[in-house]
Amino acid sequence: MAKKSNSAVKVASIVLLITGIGPAVWGYRISGSFGAQLNNAINGSPGDKVMMLYFGGAVSFVIGLYLLVRK
């Protein structure tokens, strides 16, 4: 039974790792758009959507990585 839950945690951690990469890449692609660059030039910072995608992707990736390497 312990082996089954351990493998479930491993699968969940890999899913979180992959899910974390997706929003980060999406945020990077959005940040290169004309509207985002214009917003960055005017406000001096990236937009809220870009930052939320970066943050959400990073949190998901870090949790997945932690679950994968913990013993």
What are the pLDDT digits (tens) for 9-54?
899 999 999 999 999 888 888 888 888 888 778 887 777 888 899 9
23 found inside a domain: no
50 found inside a domain: yes
Domain, as residue range, for 38: 30-66
Q: How many domains does the chain have?
A: 1
7 found inside a domain: no
8 found inside a domain: no
Question: What residue has token string 């493998």?
Answer: 7
14 found inside a domain: no
3 found inside a domain: no
pLDDT at position 55, please? 93
Q: Does 59 have pLDDT greater than 80?
A: yes
pLDDT at position 71, please? 65
Q: How confident is the model at residue 4 (pLDDT cuts 50, 70, 90)?
A: low
Distance CA 31, CA 24 (A): 10
